Amino acid sequence: MVAQVLVDHVRIRRLVVEVASGGPELSALRALGTLLEQHVRREERELFPLIEGVVPERELARLAALLEN
């Protein structure tokens, strides 16, 4: 699952560069939207619950505090 999420990140970045480079094709915009939707769902439904089940709550709180700064 982690590998799939990382692959998604690479694909998302590639599509963002394509879209941002000017005059994006409608197909690129659709592909980016679809990929983003699928990716967010995968993280919310699968990856985050997995992390929450493995990483101790105290460590999650510490990491959250670091991200807030």
The whole-number pLDDT of residue 55 equals: 95
Say what the pLDDT of residue 45 is. Answer: 96
State which residues form the domain around 44. Answer: 2-68
Predicted pLDDT at 69 = 76
From the first residue on, what is the mean pLDDT of each consecutive set of 10 residues in the chain (69 residues)? 93 90 81 94 95 94 91
> Which string of DSSP letters, residue by residue, matches 25-53?
-HHHHHHHHHHHHHHHHHIIIIIHHHHHH
The domain total for the chain is 1
Note the pLDDT of residue 8. Answer: 95
Residue 48: per-residue pLDDT: 93
pTM: 0.75
Q: What is the DSSP letter of 21?
A: T
